[in-house]
Amino acid sequence: MIHVVLKVNNVTRVYPVATPRAKKVEIRLARGAQDIGAPINGNVWRIGNPQRGPIHVGDVVHKGEEVANLEAMKMENAILAPFAGRIAEVCVKLNDVVQEGQLLFVLE
């Protein structure tokens, strides 16, 4: 991984670029009934919700509670818990780019 730094109109931006030697990132898909997957392609903008704060492994969520927020084309899309349960695994990090169907959370 290398970082390319560009300065345009006095705004400096850093872009990570994967080199041919960079390892491929494995993308897990949501397949089971307890998996919460991404409904669209986008960026993980928030994990948790504003009232509760961040969600971690072991936290209990209720049906319909916002567990994450994806940003795509400057629109926010709330990801809601399909049923009440305990978070067994958080599979993404903040600012990750996700694909449609990619695994976000596993509920118990």
Domain ranges of the chain: 25-107
For residues 101 and 98, give the distance between their C-alpha atoms in angstroms, rounded to a whole number: 8
Q: What is the fold, at CATH topology level, of the domain defined by 25-107?
A: OB fold (Dihydrolipoamide Acetyltransferase, E2P) (2.40.50)
**What is the torsion angle, in degrees rounded to the nearest 10, for the CA atoms of residue 57, residue 32, residue 80 and residue 28?**
70
pLDDT tens, 20-62?
A: 776 677 788 988 889 999 999 999 999 998 898 999 999 999 9
Beta bridge partners of 17: 2
Residue 85, burial from CB neighbour count under 10 angstroms (0-12, 13-18, 19+): middle
> Which pLDDT band, with edges at 50, 70 and 90, does 90 fall under?
very high
Predicted TM-score of the model (pTM): 0.73
pLDDT mean over 86-90:
94
Closest-CA residue to 90 (of 50, 47, 53): 47
